[in-house]
Chains A and B, each alone.
Chain A
């Protein structure tokens, strides 16, 4: 009985669900980057984008073949999380300096350059 239940649960969440979730997460990240004014939210947007890709990796590694999880994807995700941490650290440092110069976190106030 309990075995059956487990099987059913496994089937309930398929690969496509994970992929759809990560696609939604990616969209949320892009939306955040495109519309938010607060610089810290922009940094969070980048984090969300990277995490969407990480979820993809984990989902693919789990559903590749039954009962086997590809360790390659897991090592990739761990490295990628630490890389995302580095990017966030540099980004937050820049945000602090931008705040010191401009006295605001609103990215639209940083308009002196016209690129």
Chain B
């Protein structure tokens, strides 16, 4: 119905509560987690076939079109994003099996998790605006419920409510923008609207700004970011990792998609504004992260800063020649940041799991008690601050290069200063976690459970591997960028 990866996930999502019932009947622990992990593996495997088809030309589904059916157009960019979503979703699921062991309502947790990933895949595959919106809401609604999953504490509820109000106001703004676009063009398909908005009047810009406002809430762009530093720390750690790693990236993906394929002829006019917003976003995120004491809150603010870097790369993609370069840098950083931030959050989750606190002052020196987690945490922190043999260096270098290529020298200098700022607080984090001597409270802490270490180790390996041998990944990102530029 909606291409094989999504169909597989939908089947697994819908049947998870039944499996949860079975779990209690036959007293087999962790059945739900394993079930969803299997579902993600199957759906990831079916991506391969789609990728091979999408290499030559975008796959359009369903083949038979009627006005009432969904519309999916899967090109290389969609597959690129879908691959990131599925892999990180799988790792977070494996991590959840151990991390969420003590909570109630585990089957619902996995159902929501799988529905969220399903929604993200749908956003990546959507070929018209309304399909995108429906899957977007699927992702949003399940993420509200996931943020507030530990409903017996006050913090998740308050953060979840704040997230819900802001994010659904954003969704309503998207819908309003879409309705104006429908009035302008009479259709919502990406391929048909591109080019039709060119001759239109001011309404094209108004509809674009409503849509960008809505996606900007999800992507946590500077004035619309207020929900993020509350919602990400309050969620259970695997969900924070997914929210910071990939959910905010769907916002960026939707912005890229709207700017390059739907409104493509309004090409250069948004560049300066987007660059200014990107600079503001990254500066705010980095400055606020310097002051945090809560480890997850610090990582959440750092995510805002990284969104700024990605938007900067998008804003450098102006002329035909620069477009592929800037977009490749943006996509590389989307992938790298997803890996690094997921790694950092999962490590932080392991510290919290053993120490029972999120405060940096109380966590100081915990690295001595959990050496493996501490080493991988250091790898993640060094990668995200752009130290050479790791993956963050590659994409940050590409962003700086594309900034210089489009002659934006002063913004590039501000970007460099921001990267240094990021390095400063990650060094502080490493110093607190690893170099301080552990306090007496942490005597009981010991190495994280094996099931939590597997995803952490895999992510750390991926960070090193992409840093040492980036060319196949850059090639993949370049192909994805080219397919987007060609569609516009």
Contact = CB atoms under 8 A, between A and B. Distances in A.
Interface residues of B, number: 43
B176 A56 contact: yes
B396 interface: no
Central interface residue in A30, A64, A71, A80, by most chain B CB within 10 Å: A80
B408 to A, nearest CB: 31
Nearest to B232: A115
A86 B143 CA distance: 13
Interface residues of A, number: 43
Contact of B159 (A49, A79, A113): A113
A73 B155 contact: no
Contacts of A43: 165
A20 interface: no
Given A73-B182, A75-B67, A26 B168 contact: no
B244 to A, nearest CB: 14
Contact of A112 (B68, B154, B180): B154
Given A49-B173, A53-B178, A97 B157 contact: yes
A43 B172 CA distance: 12
Contacts of A24: none
A95 B183 CA distance: 36
Interface in B125-141: 130, 133-134, 137, 140-141
For the residues of B in contact with A, the DSSP-based class is: helix
Contacts of A115: 159, 162, 226-230
A46 B161 contact: no
Contacts of A46: 165, 168-169, 172
A60 B437 CA distance: 67
Contacts, number: 115
A80 B179 CA distance: 11
25 contacts: A33-B169, A45-B169, A46-B168, A49-B172, A49-B173, A54-B175, A54-B179, A56-B179, A60-B183, A70-B67, A72-B187, A72-B188, A75-B67, A75-B68, A83-B141, A86-B141, A90-B164, A91-B161, A94-B157, A94-B164, A95-B161, A101-B154, A107-B161, A112-B154, A113-B162
Given A52-B176, A87-B164, A94-B160, 19 more contacts: A29-B172, A45-B169, A49-B172, A50-B175, A54-B179, A56-B183, A60-B183, A70-B67, A72-B187, A75-B68, A79-B130, A80-B133, A87-B137, A95-B161, A97-B148, A113-B159, A113-B230, A115-B159, A115-B229
Interface of A: 26, 29-30, 33, 39, 42-43, 45-46, 49-50, 52-54, 56-57, 59-60, 64, 70-73, 75-76, 79-80, 83, 86-87, 90-91, 94-95, 97-98, 101-102, 107, 110, 112-113, 115
